Amino acid sequence: MEISTRTAALTEWTERLAEPAPAPGGGAAAAVVAAIGAAVAAMADGYGDDHPDTRRFVAARERAWEVADGDARASADLAVVFHAAPEDRDADRTRRILEHAAVSSAAVADVVVELASALEPLAERCPEPVRADVAVAARLLAAGARAGAVNVRVNATASADAGSSAEFVADLRAKEQDAIAAADALDRLAAEVTDTL
């Protein structure tokens, strides 16, 4: 039975996540962490006199929820493929499902990469008591990016092994590196902000 990040209570969703079932899985969890990071950033931006990025953070949160549900569906499709006997797997269908899972994983990373540049200006303009929340948002977004990068890597490797084009795999590898670079920048920002507290 499918569960939605949008409609399920957090306790219900995490109970389902803890079950030994493919959906939701680690990719959906990465997206939820990114959504929470974006929500914390929106909250911090809302405290200031000038909050130009609140809509951007809220939109990223909404996108992350969509990505979490999409990743859960991709994980469920992968499970069907991998539970089939190897001789019963259709190679083309397997490749398409792996590519769909890879694109889903990359979408998790994309949410964070898109927001990373907005956190430093937020740290500079938000009221002093809220600066800790910017560091928290940065750490959460970095965790979402790093977790998403893991799934991008595994799905890029599996897609390559299944016969995906070199261009498709190279694009995934670039997205993995972008996610790691964004996470590094976010972790540096969080450390810098934390040092001022």
Question: How do the pLDDT tens digits run along the chain, 197 residues long?
Answer: 578 888 888 899 889 889 988 888 889 999 999 999 999 999 999 987 778 888 999 999 999 999 998 988 888 888 887 787 877 788 888 899 889 989 988 998 899 998 999 999 999 998 889 999 999 999 999 999 999 999 999 999 999 999 999 999 999 999 999 999 999 999 999 999 999 99
CA 121 – CA 50 distance, rounded (Å): 11
CA 153 – CA 162 distance, rounded (Å): 14
Buried b vs exposed e over 62-81: b needs ≥16 C-beta within 10 Å? ebbbebbbbbbbbbebbeeb
Respond yes or no on whether the N-terminal peptide bond of residue 24 is cis (omega within 30° of 0). Answer: yes
Local structure of residue 84 (DSSP, 8 states): S
How many CA atoms are closer than 13 Å to the CA of 7, on its beta-carbon side?
4
Phi, psi of 109, deg, nearest 5: -65, -40
Amino acid at 103: V
Cβ atoms of 58 and 45 closer than 8 Å: no
